[in-house]
Amino acid sequence: MKLNLKKLGAIAIIGYSLIFNPIKTTKDYWSFRRNIDQHVIEAISLQEKELGIKHQGRPNVKFRRPPFEGVYLAEANYIPWTDTIHFDSFLPTLFISTATFGLCNINYRGVLHHELGHFYCDKIRERNNIAFSNNQFTRTIEEGIAEYFRRSIRSEKAGHGSYNRWYNKVKPVIEKEGVEVIESLVISPDKFINAQHL
């Protein structure tokens, strides 16, 4: 049986991905996890310097799925009622990375900046005695703000489809009115959407 070059190339790519990608994923995961306190301190400091904001404390960070039903975990989740960023545990991370041949490897620092955006929004809600809500207005605004944090610091151009949409709605408002507008966006998201700012 004769293998053509395309098939041989595909086999080589798959073989490489199945051998070397798990090694890279393992190294990245454990390096990030081992130094998580330092990563959080550095990320908060960088956000405060680059964005001109002031974080109120630090979130907790755990490397396991949240113990609540109905919480969807993609790369990570910020859980407001526990002030905790949950990254997935190692085995699901390794499985997803291997099963997608490395196409879904996690950019941990970028994800951390995004989740710190959620933490920042949560602290604004707490200061203003506003309960957490996962309605459409809140989700649109806060995902956009979190993605703004990520892309402003990490200089990332692209994200998932819905993240792009939310980011593109929030970014012009923040750039026009300054980071001070983030508090108003979090407190009254429906006002901004109804006023066609977003």
Give 177 or 88, the one with higher predicted confidence.
177
The sign one gets for the Cα dihedral 68, 70, 75, 80 is: negative
Q: Which backbone phi and psi does 14 adopt, to 5 degrees? A: -65, -45
Tokens 């199945």 appear where?
18
Span 45-68, pLDDT tens digits: 999 999 999 999 999 999 987 776
**Least confident residue range of 100-109, 135-144, 152-161:** 152-161
- Count, residues in the chain: 198
